[in-house]
Amino acid sequence: MSSKRRLLLHVCCAPCLTVVLEGYRDLGYEVEGLFYNPNIHPWRERERRLESLEGYSARMDMPLSVDDDYPLEENLRMLLEADNRCLACFRDRLGRTAALASEKGIDLFSTTLSVSPYQSPELLIRAGREAARDHGVSFVYRDYRPLYARSARTSRENELYRQPYCGCVLSERDRYLKLGSPGRSGQPPPEEGGAGPEVLYSE
């Protein structure tokens, strides 16, 4: 039996997985992935991202669970009614990941969203902590944003599909209007370099 620490990684897409998987493996984690992203609109776009991810996960020998739950009306209602739609979106996805980790007997979970300069570390940590508390597991946060440019290069080299917007139909509109995402941090992302230290949150 492996002595490595098991980590359930919420995966949003193949490009973000590249550097995050490598980073956690370098730290000695045995990584399993979960694709649960009902925030990706429309369904065809979700399928496109998933197809690319499945190919890359297989190539990298990473087990991947896929949650096909796609309650579109509920998801849209949740995003439209939330004070901060991205926080609600993080809560939904990280909550489902923490629940599956607990079900599988995996103590730790994390997310590839931590590589995106468009997602606020503060909001991700807040949602991760809540999910950890609700499901009795620990959230691992590591700032991978300095590796964002590298993830883009690696994606091109591996011919991975790179999406032009975050996921929801609102973000698809906002890229044309050049509106910032409500999930974006007020702080500029760190310069290109190494990932930050790993931090564990249990509540």
Residues at the contact surface with ligand SF4, assessed by CB under 6 A? 39, 79, 85-86, 89, 166-168, 170-171, 181, 183
Residue 6 vs 117, nearer CB to ligand SF4: 117
Q: Please say whether the beta carbons of 39 and 93 come within 8 A.
A: yes
Helix (H) or strand (E) holding 19: helix 14-26
Q: Least distance to ligand SF4 from the beta carbon of 168, Å?
A: 3
Give the C-alpha separation, 48 to 201, whole Å: 33
Q: Least distance to ligand SF4 from the beta carbon of 30, Å?
A: 27
Measure CA 53 to chain center.
Answer: 12
Q: Least distance to ligand SF4 from the beta carbon of 171, Å?
A: 4
- Looking only at the bridges linking them, the beta strands covering 64-66 and 138-141 are unpaired
Residue 39 vs 114, nearer CB to ligand SF4: 39
Give the C-alpha separation, 73 to 138, whole Å: 30
Helix (H) or strand (E) holding 124: helix 121-135
Q: Least distance to ligand SF4 from the beta carbon of 66, Å?
A: 18
Residue 20 vs 106, nearer CB to ligand SF4: 20
**144: helix, coil or strand?**
coil
Q: What's the angle, vertex CA 187, arms to CA 181 and CA 188, rounded to 5?
A: 85
Beta bridge partners of 108: 7, 138
Residue 16 vs 168, nearer CB to ligand SF4: 168
Longest Cα separation, the chain:
52
Q: Least distance to ligand SF4 from the beta carbon of 90, Å?
A: 7
Of 198, 193, 103, the closest CA to residue 143 belongs to 198
Residue 14 vs 106, nearer CB to ligand SF4: 14
Residue 108 vs 170, nearer CB to ligand SF4: 170
Q: Least distance to ligand SF4 from the beta carbon of 133, Å?
A: 21
